[in-house]
Amino acid sequence: MRLLQFTLCMFLLAPFSHAEMVGDIPHIEKNIQLDGKLDEAVWKQAKVIELSFEIYPAINTPADKKTTAYLYEDGKTLFVGIDARDSNPDEIRSFFRDRDNLGFDDNVSIYIDPFNQRRIAYFFGSNALGIQTDGTIDDLNDEISNKWDGIWSSAGTITETGYIIEMAIPFRLMRIPEGSDIKEWAIDFRRFDTRKKFKTYSNTADDRNFDCRVCQYSSYQGFKSIEKGTDLQLIPSITLQQQELRDITVPNSSFDSTDNSEIGLDARWGVTDNSVLNATFNPDFSQIEADIPQSEANIKFVRRFKEKRSFFLEGDDLFSTPSQLIYTRTMVDPNWGLKFTGENENSSWGVLAVNDEETTFLDIDNQGSNFITLDQESNNLAARYNRDITDNLRVGTLVTNRTADNYSNQVVSLDTRWAITSGQRIFAQIMRSDSDYSALGGGDFDDTAYKLLYEYTSEEWEGKIEFEDFGEDFRADLGLLERVGHKTNRQSLERIWYFDEGIWSLFTVNGSHEQIKAESGEVLEDNFSAGIFAQGPYNSRIAINVNTLEQLENSTQFDLNFIDYFASFSPMVGLDLEISGQFGDAIDFSNTQEADLNSVSIGAEWNVNRHLRVELSHTIEVLDVSGGELFNLTIDDLRFVYQFDGKSFIRLTSQYFIQESDPSLFNFAIEEKEESLNLELLYSYKLNTQTVFFAGYNSGRARPNAILKLKEQEKTAFLKFTYSWIY
């Protein structure tokens, strides 16, 4: 089997080459008016790059739509112009949206690796109306993230011949090589056509036998006279909040009012061209956006939430390791924080220090996890260093330290990534922790963990073999590990077919096996899974997985068979529909008994026009046991959004939750009926990602018992303002 061919010749292969250098980026000291027109004379002097390849679903065939990119720089800013031709401009799919939410809009992105090391790249994208998205692509850890936000400018217009996009990307946003000599950067463009058949165009041919994309970018020379300037950014913030609460279990209870005002400051300083210092003091990390409600019924492991706080986002890719040893959401209420990150041609580093009002971490074993919070201040420290030994071999180390009164946790980790060939990689990591849980009555303990992963990639096959061992006393309290005290073996194999013609673009068949054992040797889980995935017309995607699982829960063996599924498509421009769910055997974790689960989630997004959007999600979950229906829950989230332009919107949100349970089927006390309704009106104005104004009102209603009706128990009015000064 090709997946298992670790022959001697693979280890002796020479490092695989990068894409060749294809041109120079001119230095022209002339600014432009960002209006999405490309009518200034300076564009005639810019570097011209044709996106001549269709790389999906066809592989490197001539693009059937002409796309031309233009590039030049003035020493402080990279200017990008894109002329995306289209024979049917009336069918261009683009709507006014909040940034980083392009959905299936027609859009174009530029990808930039300033160090030309083919590991990590920044991307900057825009739909046809100039709505932005940005982030990082990390080939080392197979991650594409739009969490990072930069302050840059874009404009887009739909024309009689297609659409035109202009971008102005300041060099201060990126870590770049030092020095005044000519530099070689890796740059790639992609155009995404989201009509009846999803297509991707690029200026660089794609080799699907490579397990990376950044390593295939084309190289361009220039950037000799780059000046990032002072590169100092100050972002003060103020939040005003009035909250009213009452005890709805007490008849005719009155509201108690609380006024909360917070003033904070974030700062960013480009110390050198390739290093950045971030600082935050008394930051406002309040949640403005209304999260979709989630059920906590029958949950064994804690839920993960995305990090949205700007201080933690910049340079977070430098702290990544094969196991998640840093999860910044565990730092809940920081008083202050400092972060220093940097990169050069063959190494990268990062140091993070945060003083937090709380000490929050996971209580974990080999059965599940939940959060613990100590009501005391903690000091949090993380230091990361990566070094390229060769083009194909990288090693890194990470140290984390967390301390509070009668509590501490330290982790030391060493990891490596070895690209054996263009399509084969090995990841390895060994970790050691030392903990003092005296504050919890646990005393001192320490343990070791390690992880080994092999990946194989070709145009037709993808495979993985993974092994991990986490000791019972291993803890990484600054991270997010679901289990300890276990050994896990995972294998997966996927066969891939691409279709240049016909209605289908992609079809895959996959299979996997995962076995999790306790340190004592008991088999906790043994899971076989097989599935299919297909992508076809009208942006349709279909995934079906059949699972056979043997699971040990509280000394009881369960044999489970269940199916999970997902499907989505866009039957017309502006309307996106999706459905997902699971049905079959399950476990009632509350009572340790067999159950039948049927859950389904339906989502819809309707862009009524370029400004008005309606979003709906509807979830139903029913768990049946031998004695009857254990619980039945429904979650609804309905949102009406009017997007005035790319900077401001007003949104009305209604969130409804109801769970009906049978108390006689539980071995502990539970409410027969839980119900809540949350209404929020929010106005948002964003001059850029860090100069923002929010104003909103929230009303929360709940049912105190199964008899009474919904009663208002919380009212909140809030204002938030941040402003970014750039020097």
Q: What is the tens place of the pLDDT at every residue in 73-112?
A: 999 999 999 999 999 998 899 999 988 888 889 999 999 9
Question: Does 451 share its domain with 543?
Answer: no
Q: Which domain holds residue 408?
A: 299-484
Distance from C-alpha of 198 to C-alpha of 535, rounded to nearest angstrom = 9
Residue 562 lies in a domain: yes
Question: Does 479 share its domain with 532?
Answer: no
Residue 101 lies in a domain: yes
Residue 282 lies in a domain: no
Structure tokens at 428: 């390895």
Q: Which residues pair with 153 in a beta bridge?
A: 168
Residue 270 lies in a domain: no
Question: Does 62 share its domain with 183?
Answer: yes
- Residue 654 backbone dihedrals phi, psi, to 5 degrees: -125, 125
Percentage of the chain modeled with pLDDT above 70 = 94
Distance from C-alpha of 468 to C-alpha of 231, rounded to nearest angstrom = 43
Q: Of 468, 466, 527, 529, give the one whose Cα is nearest residue 494.
A: 529
What's the pTM value of the predicted model, to 2 decimals?
0.86
Mean pLDDT of 531-550: 95
CA torsion, ordered 202, 207, 208, 213, to nearest 10 deg? -60
- Say what the pLDDT of residue 297 is: 66
Question: Does 509 share its domain with 468?
Answer: no
187 vs 21: which has the higher pLDDT: 187
Residue 213 lies in a domain: yes
Distance from C-alpha of 120 to C-alpha of 137, rounded to nearest angstrom = 6
Distance from C-alpha of 296 to C-alpha of 727, rounded to nearest angstrom = 46
Question: Does 87 share its domain with 161?
Answer: yes
Q: Of 397, 368, 402, give the one whose Cα is nearest residue 383.
A: 397
Distance from C-alpha of 593 to C-alpha of 590, rounded to nearest angstrom = 8
Question: Does 561 share its domain with 629?
Answer: no
Quickly list H helices, 362-474: none
Q: Which residues of 310-336 are buried (b: 16+ CB within 10 A; e: fewer)?
A: bbbbbbbbbbbbbbebbbbbbbeebee
- Residue 211 backbone dihedrals phi, psi, to 5 degrees: -90, 15
266 vs 178: which has the higher pLDDT: 266
CB-based burial of residue 441 (10 Å sphere; 0-12 exposed, 13-18 middle, 19+ buried)? exposed
Range of lowest pLDDT (28-37, 135-144, 204-213): 135-144
Question: Does 171 share its domain with 71?
Answer: yes
- Say what the pLDDT of residue 584 is: 97
The DSSP letter of residue 330 is G
Please state, as a whole number, how many other Cβ atoms lie within 10 Å of the Cβ of residue 205. Answer: 13
- Say what the pLDDT of residue 112 is: 95
* CA angle (399 as vertex; 483, 173 as ends), nearest 5: 105
Mean pLDDT of 706-719: 87
**Sign of dihedral through CA atoms 229, 231, 232, 238?**
positive
* Residue 93 near residue 538, CB atoms below 8 Å: no
Question: Does 141 share its domain with 167?
Answer: yes
Q: Which of 457, 484, 511 is the last residue of a domain?
A: 484
Residue 227 lies in a domain: no
Q: 394 CB contacts (<8 Å, ≥6 apart)?
A: 119, 140, 386, 387, 388, 416, 417, 418
Residue 9, pLDDT > 60, answer no
Q: Of 570, 557, 622, 616, give the one whose Cα is nearest residue 596.
A: 622
Count of residues making up the chain: 727
Range of lowest pLDDT (4-13, 156-165, 176-185): 4-13
Question: Does 697 share its domain with 668?
Answer: yes
Cα distances from 86 to residues 62, 63, 95, 196, 228, in angstroms, run 15, 12, 17, 14, 37
- Say what the pLDDT of residue 7 is: 29
Number of domains in the chain: 4
The DSSP letter of residue 97 is -
591 vs 542: which has the higher pLDDT: 542
Distance from C-alpha of 450 to C-alpha of 488, rounded to nearest angstrom = 11
Residue 14, pLDDT > 50, answer no
Helix (H, G, I), strand (E, B) or coil at 290: coil
Please state, as a whole number, how many other Cβ atoms lie within 10 Å of the Cβ of residue 639. Answer: 19
Residue 134, pLDDT > 70, answer yes
Question: Does 68 share its domain with 172?
Answer: yes
Residue 292: pLDDT band (50, 70, 90) is: low
- Say what the pLDDT of residue 169 is: 96
Question: Does 141 share its domain with 37?
Answer: yes
Q: Of 487, 564, 561, give the one whose Cα is nearest residue 527.
A: 561
Q: Which of 484, 504, 536 is the last residue of a domain?
A: 484
Question: Does 447 share its domain with 348?
Answer: yes
CATH number (domain holding residue 109): 2.60.40.1190
Convert the pLDDT of each residue in 398-438 to its tens digit: 999 999 999 999 999 999 999 898 889 999 999 999 999 99
- Say what the pLDDT of residue 23 is: 66
Distance from C-alpha of 352 to C-alpha of 382, rounded to nearest angstrom = 5
Q: Of 704, 703, 712, 721, give the one whose Cα is nearest residue 243.
A: 712
Mean pLDDT of 230-238: 88
Amino acid identity of residue 109, one-letter, is: S
**Ranges assigned E (strand) in 406-460:** 407-421, 424-436, 444-457
Residue 599 lies in a domain: yes
Residue 662: pLDDT band (50, 70, 90) is: very high
Convert the pLDDT of each residue in 304-320 to its tens digit: 777 878 888 888 888 98
- Cis? peptide before 57, omega within 30° of 0: yes
Q: Which of 455, 484, 513 is the last residue of a domain?
A: 484
The DSSP letter of residue 520 is T
Q: Of 136, 84, 132, give the one whose Cα is nearest residue 113.
A: 136
Structure tokens at 245: 């609460």
Residue 287 lies in a domain: no
